[in-house]
Amino acid sequence: MYQSFEVTARPEQGPARLADLRAEMARVGVDGFLIPRADAHQGEYVPPRDERLSWLTGFTGSAGFCVALEKVAGVFIDGRYRTQVKQQVADDFTPVPWPEVSLTDWLKEQLPHGGIVAYDPWLHAAGQIKQAEAALKGSGITLKRSENLVDQIWSDQPDAPKAPVIEHPMKFAGECAQDKTARLAKGLRDAGQSATVLTLPDSIMWLLNIRGSDVAHNPVALGFAILHEDAQIDLFMHAEKLSTVDLPDFVRLQDESAFILHVTQLKGAVLVDMATVPQIVADELGDQMVAGNDPCALPKARKNAAEIAGSQAAHIRDGAAVVETLAWLDAQAPGTVSEIDVVKHLESSRRDDPTLREISFDTISGTGPNGAIIHYRVSEESNATLEDGHLLVLDSGGQYLDGTTDITRTLAIGTPGQDERSAYTRVLQGMIAVSQLRWPMGLAGRDIEAFGRAPLWQAGQDFNHGLGHGVGAYLSVHEGPQRLSRLSDVALEVGMILSNEPGYYREGAFGIRIENLIVVKAAPSTASADPERDMLSWKTLTYAPLEPKLIDVALLAPNERNWINSYHSEVRQILSPRLSSSAKNWLDRVTQPL
């Protein structure tokens, strides 16, 4: 289970691979080629076979893409990766701030006289291509379907994964696959639709109550599915993955290679999610295609009672593992422990739980300047020692049979400086503001995420990532459609689990992030509440202490201090029975009332 810290590609390998790609572009007569970080299933995480972006450029972030032209190769990265990309790609690649600079505007600037830019229609969502073609209209630039040119030059490309699938028990799922399928099929009939095409792995896993391990850290099996209006499902997946699973009678197992053929044989209106369906599917459906949302997305996001109970139980066990590591770390002298040492200890603590299947993402353990890299991934080359005065950003999580966890704590090594304490306290104030929030039903993430930024804004500071993402129930640690983001218009609903993770990052110096998972619940009534206005609030799922050495109590309002004391009291009460004596004594000490 312990990760190897190997970089997929080194910066010095990029120029030769880029030259080979350009030779392929010349062979097929195109001026450019698009390389997304995506596979045919359009999930956030991809198996090694589909790590084309990393293999070509060296950039290992979880989002972004490259556009290779004859004279320039742009690597498009969002705010989370502005620092990281500079360290991972060679000078032959040009980092491009995205979405501030769009793909189409960049192409117009680089190809002022027009040209042909090729793309693999399996790897780009239909909505992306439609939007790009509209923006390029009149520019003389053409997007053209093509074989994958990176695959032509990647001689040792890994095979497609074929890991075994397991059943997800009813005690954790809370609803049988037949009931889920019948409910969604009724929605198709009510809308006058004959079928829907499902490509997102976590949607298929949720619908059929199965789990897999084709992708690192995410319990999903890769495949496609077609749900028909009569509640029959065609599942396109390698049969050997399912050799130990009894599929329901309404599921017809098909070979994955037959997927497109079945798509072409569909009759009537077919629902597709333009944000995730591959362009090749849209091309085959033509006028039959009805654009909408993945019908699994919202039901999956609205966790039922069994899923919430499982998540709560997983977070308690996970919190105990985290505290064991925090207590161990606090006993180590500055200068004696490295970032990788912390990762190894934390992952070992989690492995003591027999229900742990995997970590939920590569553990982020960044000290000093490394902590300012938002999605830093430690390697043997970058591994730094935790020195006196440093901060450590420790972002980690586990995939347990009953739930998925994601927690970040920022820790002070030795004696922190006042700048670090002030910034940490402002980040903490933002997290508390969101945790305490009550809001009217119907609001989306964009309507409330500013509460988590306001204390930083008052100091002229901010952070370049969303305030929070959705989280699955023993599924993907990043789950849509719910988000705490200024870009999200999806209304928050009871049962949705999200992260609450404000941060602050000073490049070359330090980083800060504090993250709890929270679940939407109906707000308790108050004497002054309008009886006709339904209100929502949060329940915190994560249990682990905050860093007392970094809290500047003078900056706290009374309600903020009370929240911290109440939270720490709950952490002590819930976790203490599960801890070793040394960890319990440490927890008692660091959670004393402020």
Instruction: Say yes or no to pLDDT of 73 above 80.
Output: yes
pLDDT in tens, 452-466: 999 999 999 999 999
pLDDT at 8: 54
Question: Could you tell me which CATH class the domain 11-153 is placed in?
Answer: alpha beta
pLDDT at 9: 64
Percentage of residues in the chain with pLDDT exceeding 70? Answer: 98
- pLDDT class of 45 with cuts at 50, 70, 90: confident
d(CA 426, CA 428): 5
Mean pLDDT, all residues of the chain: 94
pLDDT in tens, 313-344: 999 999 999 999 999 999 999 999 999 999 99
- pLDDT class of 144 with cuts at 50, 70, 90: very high
Helices (H), 39-148: 52-57, 82-88, 103-110, 126-136
Instruction: Say yes or no to pLDDT of 130 above 60.
Output: yes
Percentage of residues in the chain with pLDDT exceeding 90? Answer: 89
pLDDT in tens, 199-225: 999 999 999 999 999 999 999 999 999
Do the domains 302-582 and 166-300 match in fold?
A: no
Instruction: Say yes or no to pLDDT of 291 above 90.
Output: yes
CATH superfamily of 302-582: Creatinase/methionine aminopeptidase superfamily (3.90.230.10)
- pLDDT class of 566 with cuts at 50, 70, 90: very high
Antiparallel, parallel or unpaired: β 224-228 and 233-236: antiparallel
- The number of beta carbons lying within 10 Å of the beta carbon of residue 458 is 10
> Residue ranges per domain, the chain?
11-153, 166-300, 302-582
pLDDT at 10: 72
Pick the CATH number of 166-300 from 3.30.450.40, 3.40.190.170, 3.10.20.30, 3.40.350.10: 3.40.350.10
Q: What mean pLDDT do residues 349-358 have?
A: 96
Instruction: Output the DSSP codes for 243-300.
Output: TT----TTEEEE-GGGHHHHHHT--S-EEEETTTSBHHHHHHHGGGEEEE--TTHHHH
Instruction: Say yes or no to pLDDT of 108 above 70.
Output: yes
Cis preceding-peptide flag for 158 (omega within 30 of 0): no
d(CA 123, CA 141): 20
Instruction: Say yes or no to pLDDT of 1 above 80.
Output: no
Q: What mean pLDDT do residues 477-506 have?
A: 97
Q: What mean pLDDT do residues 51-64 have?
A: 88
Strands (E), 379-455: 391-396, 398-400, 403-404, 407-412, 439-440
Q: What angle do CA 357, 470, 499 make, to 5 degrees?
A: 90
Q: Out of 5-9, 77-81, 295-299, 359-363, pick the least confident.
A: 5-9
Report which of residues 581 and 15 the model is more confident about: 581
pLDDT at 6: 40
Cis preceding-peptide flag for 99 (omega within 30 of 0): yes
Instruction: Say yes or no to pLDDT of 3 above 60.
Output: no
Instruction: Say yes or no to pLDDT of 188 above 90.
Output: yes
pLDDT in tens, 371-417: 999 989 898 989 999 999 999 999 999 999 999 999 999 999 999 99
Instruction: Say yes or no to pLDDT of 60 above 90.
Output: no
